[in-house]
Amino acid sequence: MGYFTLLFTSIGLSMDACAVSISNGMCFGNIHKKQIIWTALAFGLFQAFMPVIGFIVGSAFSRQISFLDHWIALILLGFIGGKMIKEAIEELKFPEACLTGSKYLTSKILFVQAIATSIDALAVGIGFAVMNVNITYAALFIGTITFATSILGSNLGKKFGEMFKQKAEILGGAILIIIGLKIFLEHTLL
């Protein structure tokens, strides 16, 4: 996997965390510099760790399914990206107030958010195993990009509110679908 493909995969995966960070910046009263850093660390660590788990699981089966690697990447990234776009569009159609009843972002809420936003990275890790991607490099890259986008998202949420949330998810979903198509086309046309 090339640098630019990994960069765009990382950006695509980070969009859920960015969108949640934007939402947190809007919804919680205790978002300040320290809380923004903790949020970014939680999201970044989970986004880095989940592909490693997916890679380990995927590695166990990679020989048996290597002839399908481009189909697996297309299906996984297409599904994840499509799901992100669908959810963002539904939120645009039916805007809701902040879903949490808590006025303050707690460690428990942050932990659940970090797990929820990194599930997609687990599936991508399975695809990485099939494609023989250097998982250490990829995980560090994904975690770093997610850390940065989460800081950006928290600050945007604090300043600009709800208007960017769904757009970030739509962009992230579109990036993942495009990368899935690119991988598929590279393997079938070359």
Closest CA to 166 of 99, 105, 86: 86
What is the mean pLDDT of the segment spanning 172-178?
75
pLDDT digits (tens, 9 = 90+) for 98-151: 554 456 778 888 888 888 888 888 888 988 988 889 999 999 999 999 999 999
Q: What is the pTM of this model?
A: 0.72
Name which residue leads in pLDDT, 158 or 52: 52
For the residues of 124-170, what is the DSSP string, one character each? HHHHHHHTT--HHHHHHHHHHHHHHHHHHHHHHHHHHGGGGHHHHHH
Residue 142 near residue 14, CB atoms below 8 Å: yes
Question: d(Cα 36, Cα 38) in Å, to the nearest integer?
Answer: 6
| Residue 97 main-chain phi, psi, to 5 deg | -70, 175
Domain that holds residue 136: 3-95+102-189
What is the mean pLDDT of the segment spanning 155-180?
72
Looking at the structure of the chain, the number of domains it has is 1
